[in-house]
Amino acid sequence: MFDTVPSANVRTTRVVSSDQLRDLLADTGATVHDSVRLSELTTLRVGGRALLAECASTEALIATVNALDAAGLAVLLVAGGSNLLVDDAGFDGVVVRIGTTGVELDTGGVVAEAGANWDEVVAATVAAGLGGLECLSGIPGSAGATPVQNVGAYGVEVASLLRRVRLLDRRTGEVRWAEPAELGFGYRTSVLKHSDDAVVLAVEFALDPSGMSAPLRYGELAKVLGAAEGQTRPVDEVRAQVLRLRAGKGMVLDAADHDTWSAGSFFTNPVVTEDQLPLVLAAIAAHVGADVKVPTYPAPDGTKLSAGWLIERAGFAKGFPGEDAAARLSTKHTLALTNRGAATAADIVALARTVRTGVQQRFGVTLEPEPVTVGLSL
């Protein structure tokens, strides 16, 4: 899951009233809302209050961000809120809600505005018989957030399909299209994730008009489709199976299912260097036994391990710490930290720290959080 520019752009500690904010943004096209609960804008459903400026057009978004930056105010950009953990005290600056939703299809791809619902974008491409994005079905969040952390699932990453990204440079006010080579993509990362200098305004993907999927690279998905890895299948069939698999892991939003009140995978899969790998494998063997097969995957900088596997083997089962806890690991998937209905941000952080410390002590591996944190840290 994903959804925001990497961090609050804190330029000063200046605080404004809602009336002052309305005056400041009078000519931008933004709508100002008083004291909005950020828990209502995030899929974890935690977070305190903040002033909010809602932008329904790209023009309003550009003008609003430029005005707030010129005034030296702290800015937090939010669309779907699916990769965001905000402190219970809220945010002292201005939350800019990206409400741009335009989607344009042609035979070679799709252009989506930053605030467009990601799964709706994927569904539209599948309905049009365009292949490429189907393995990314069911992921909550906005289209504009996908290049920020190079979103990926079931063997497909955004970087492999992205044609270009439209950006607002907050330092200069320039708006331009950037090529993928400029974005420094890596595993769940990009240069956009580590800087708040740019705002994603739109994304464009190159897709296959044949109606067939990208080559299947994920064994579990290929198996349920009756295919070998590397083969293709009709895009609608792939989407249906991806949604089924994700739902079985509590990874498709459902207001009635607290297992989906989460930020998705809370920790990224750790990558260890080749020098570190023997020590880590020895620590794992000492704890779980030398005959246990450890899932490993090749990565550009070393070997990738499964965070979920490590969490379970460190003693944190599905549903940890128990039914009475306000924040628990999902009952379907140990990589998701969930709000059971009344959790606070502090509850989520406490659980994350417990899990992270346990894995570190058992195996010498430090798990890195995937969500963007605002006003708090692990």
Give the model confidence (pLDDT) of 122-147 as tens digits: 999 999 999 999 999 999 999 999 99
Dist CA 238 CA 210 (whole Å)? 14
* Signed CA dihedral, 164, 106, 138, 200: sign only: positive
Give the model confidence (pLDDT) of 217-240 as tens digits: 999 999 999 999 999 999 999 999
Cβ–Cβ < 8 Å for 177, 166: yes
3-state class (DSSP) for residue 273: coil
Q: Burial of 56 by CB count in 10 Å (0-12 exposed, 13-18 middle, 19+ buried)?
A: middle
Dist CA 241 CA 243 (whole Å)? 5
pLDDT value at residue 4:
39
Mean pLDDT (whole number) for 165-169: 98
Mean pLDDT across the chain: 93
Give the model confidence (pLDDT) of 74-110 as tens digits: 999 999 999 899 999 999 999 999 999 999 999 999 9
The residues facing 51 across adjacent strands are 94
Give the model confidence (pLDDT) of 322-348 as tens digits: 999 999 999 999 999 999 999 999 999
Q: How far is CA 349 from the centre of its chain?
A: 17
3-state class (DSSP) for residue 157: strand
Which positions are catalytic? 188, 265, 370
Dist CA 103 CA 116 (whole Å)? 7
Dist CA 347 CA 206 (whole Å)? 41
Model-level pTM? 0.90
Residues 6 or more apart in contact with residue 146 via CB below 8 angstroms: 2, 118, 136, 158, 203
Give 15 or 10, the one with higher predicted confidence: 15
Whether 369 shows a pLDDT value over 50: the answer reads yes
